[in-house]
Amino acid sequence: MKIFCVGRNYAEHAKELKNEIPAEPVIFLKPKSALLLANTPFYYPDFTNELHYEAELVLRISKNGKYIPESQAGHYFNAITVGIDFTARDVQNELKEKSLPWEKAKAWDCSAVVGKWSDLESSMVRKPLNFSLNLNDECVQKGNSRNMIFSFNRIIADISKYFALNIGDLVFTGTPSGVGECVVGDKLCGYFEEEKVFELDIK
Ligand code: ZN
């Protein structure tokens, strides 16, 4: 199982981190070990002093494929949820400054959280999908798929030019604006449409 992530897929978020709007999707990967398993506690990592949440819509791949045309990409995923692409922002800034790869900031153990899955019918994909994140019962991020720079289908097509997609792979589709810090004792809750899909305590 592979975990693909898209960076800078919402214009407002690219702006808040002072990044350019990309001309093609920014893709990076997290290893399987990055997935926080169900009923496992999340511990604040000791190598960072600036842990950021990034709430994102996550797709689950349902069909193996490579060189998938954008027009066919909708047949390759069938479930969706909200997840968190946890980022050690201080580590990332340091790596970015030196133009180094950013795995140490984003691909560490348990840095990928996913909520409860919903079936995604093709009719749903055409509608704007809402999601949000609460930090200690206050809404800190609100996203809508209609504000993505690159659509689900474009992302799938683009990833599959470089990497084979396999059943069970996950795709984090980018975070909207509002990313920020969390500390030990905080509680994060993710919502897909109106439904709460995860609740996470930072230990
Ligand atoms: Zn992200």
Using the mean position of ligand 1's atoms as its centre, give its distance from the Cα of residue 174 in Å: 5
Helix (H) or strand (E) holding 14: helix 11-16
Using the mean position of ligand 1's atoms as its centre, give its distance from the Cα of residue 175 in Å: 5
For residue 169, report the phi and psi dihedrals to the nearest 5 degrees.
-65, 150
Using the mean position of ligand 1's atoms as its centre, give its distance from the Cα of residue 127 in Å: 22
Look at the alpha carbons of 43, 47, 52, 53 in this order and tell me if their dihedral is positive or negative: negative
pLDDT tens digits, residue range 142-156? 999 999 999 999 999
In the chain, domain spans: 3-32+45-201
Using the mean position of ligand 1's atoms as its centre, give its distance from the Cα of residue 52 in Å: 10
Q: What is the pLDDT of residue 113?
A: 98
With H, G, I as helix, E, B as strand and everything else as coil, classify residue 177.
Answer: coil
Q: What is the pLDDT of residue 126?
A: 74
DSSP per-residue string spanning 90-145: HHHHHHHHTT---HHHHSSTT-EEE---EE--HHHHTS--EEEEEETTEEEEEEEG
Using the mean position of ligand 1's atoms as its centre, give its distance from the Cα of residue 15 in Å: 14
Give me the mean pLDDT over the 93-105 stretch.
96
Provide the CATH number for the domain formed by 3-32+45-201 in this structure.
3.90.850.10
Residues with C-beta atoms within 5 A of ion ligand 1: 54, 85, 175
- Answer whether 0.75 is exceeded by the pTM: yes
pLDDT tens digits, residue range 45-85? 999 999 999 999 999 999 999 999 999 999 999 999 999 99
> Looking at this protein, which amino acid is placed at residue 49?
N
Give me the mean pLDDT over the 168-183 stretch.
97
